[in-house]
Amino acid sequence: MRAITYDTYGSPDVLTLDDIPVPEPTESQVLIEVKAVGLNPFDWHLYRGDPYLVRMDGAWRRPKRKYTIGADVAGTIVKVGEKVTAFKPGDDVYGEIGRGGCAEFAATSHLNLALKPTSISFEIAAASLMGSFTALQGLRNSGKLVAGQTVLVNGASGGVGHMAVQIARALGASRVVAVCSTGKVGMVRSLGADDVIDYTRDDFTRRGERFDLIFDTVGTRGLTAIRRALVPGGTFVTVGAVGGGKLLGPARFMFASMIAGAFVREKVAALTDTQATPEDFALLSGWLDVGTVRPVIDRVYPLESTADAMRQVEGGRVGGKVVVALRHESS
């Protein structure tokens, strides 16, 4: 089968369109014919080995073997292991599998998957996963968001941020304010934000408005500035950051925020990992089915152009999500 692989760390140039064997599912796995893959910064952190934190499996100099990228997939099950009872061949599914999605077939645990809502395309399904679960768990679990609270989303045009705007509203936020760049203002406003701040023209920490919860995907403002925009005792949730250095990367800002948060009255939380539960899948599927939340797809690439797709993701020039389609369909 065709797959996008790498066996050394580096830029998107290390990604190769390869011919590798179709994986054989174990007794607790299913084999998926992949139809679409949603790309994430998570993918480039893996193939770059950057930050070094991602090399903690001991593969310091180079990967231990040839890997296939792609964590968020949607497709059709073609084979199930003997212990799998939740799915059958022919089921359309979507889910987070860690690696292996950018290929014609992928094997993964059945626990990583859910049935795809019939009302949405494979591309929409693949674009809905990591960003949605990060936003949901960051807002609900880490931020303790309750109906009637006010929320600001910093980095609102990215893969996580644009879903956070919609999910904050779905969870009952009374006011959602979004921060993004000039070119993304229209897109973010269309997601239902009550107000959109262009960070190139206005500093959200100096506008005078205060929020119950600030949800941050980019780490562009330190905690001292963030506190100016929080109500007394409000909550700051960090789920990512740009930069941070070769050792820790985004985790550096997140850890620093947590340490500083121990000395202030406001609550500071960092979401460093997500694990989608069946309940979370059910909630997301319901929202997607009726259109309460819907990912924005910036661009769709064919499998052979995955390296170009990752260059766009790495460059940060994405409004919403970038998708690789193995069978192109309208979204």
Question: From CA 4, how far away is CA 303, in angstroms rounded?
Answer: 8
In the predicted structure, residue 331 carries a pLDDT above the cut 90: no
At 316 the pLDDT is 80
Segment 8-12 shows an average pLDDT of 94
Band the pLDDT of 275: cuts 50, 70, 90: confident
* CATH number for the domain that contains residue 261: 3.40.50.720
Band the pLDDT of 263: cuts 50, 70, 90: low
Which tops the pLDDT comparison, 258 or 217?
A: 217
Considering the domain architecture, whether residues 40 and 93 belong to the same structural domain is answered as: yes
48 lies in a domain? Answer: yes
**Which DSSP symbol is given to 142?**
I
Considering the domain architecture, whether residues 285 and 245 belong to the same structural domain is answered as: no
How many domains, the chain? 2
Percentage of the chain modeled with pLDDT above 70: 90
Considering the domain architecture, whether residues 80 and 189 belong to the same structural domain is answered as: no
Encode pLDDT of 141-155 as tens digits. Answer: 999 999 999 999 999
* CATH number for the domain that contains residue 73: 3.90.180.10
Backbone angles phi, psi at 214, to 5 degrees: -115, 125
Considering the domain architecture, whether residues 92 and 181 belong to the same structural domain is answered as: no
CA proximity to 118, closest of 282, 296, 285: 285
289 lies in a domain? Answer: yes
248 lies in a domain? Answer: yes
Segment 285-294 shows an average pLDDT of 97
Considering the domain architecture, whether residues 247 and 284 belong to the same structural domain is answered as: no
Considering the domain architecture, whether residues 177 and 191 belong to the same structural domain is answered as: yes
At 159 the pLDDT is 95
Segment 76-94 shows an average pLDDT of 97
Segment 282-306 shows an average pLDDT of 97
Considering the domain architecture, whether residues 151 and 220 belong to the same structural domain is answered as: yes
- Ranking 11-15, 31-35, 198-202, 316-320 by mean pLDDT, the lowest is 316-320
159 lies in a domain? Answer: yes
At 329 the pLDDT is 44
104 lies in a domain? Answer: yes
For the chain, the straight-line distance linking the first and the last C-alpha, in angstroms and rounded, comes to: 25
Considering the domain architecture, whether residues 88 and 200 belong to the same structural domain is answered as: no
- Which residue reads 């304010």 in tokens? 177
Band the pLDDT of 308: cuts 50, 70, 90: very high
Q: Which two structure tokens, joined as six digits, stand for 174?
A: 């009374």
241 lies in a domain? Answer: yes
3-state secondary structure of 278: helix
At 65 the pLDDT is 86
Q: Which two structure tokens, joined as six digits, stand for 70?
A: 């792609």
Band the pLDDT of 243: cuts 50, 70, 90: low
Question: From CA 103, how far away is CA 251, in angstroms rounded?
Answer: 30
**Residue 199, domain extent:** 132-270
306 lies in a domain? Answer: yes
In order, the DSSP letters of 122-165 are: HHHHHTTSHHHHHHHIIIIIIS---TT-EEEEESTTSTTHHHHH
Segment 182-204 shows an average pLDDT of 96
Considering the domain architecture, whether residues 181 and 295 belong to the same structural domain is answered as: no
191 lies in a domain? Answer: yes
At 44 the pLDDT is 85
Which tops the pLDDT comparison, 271 or 139?
A: 139
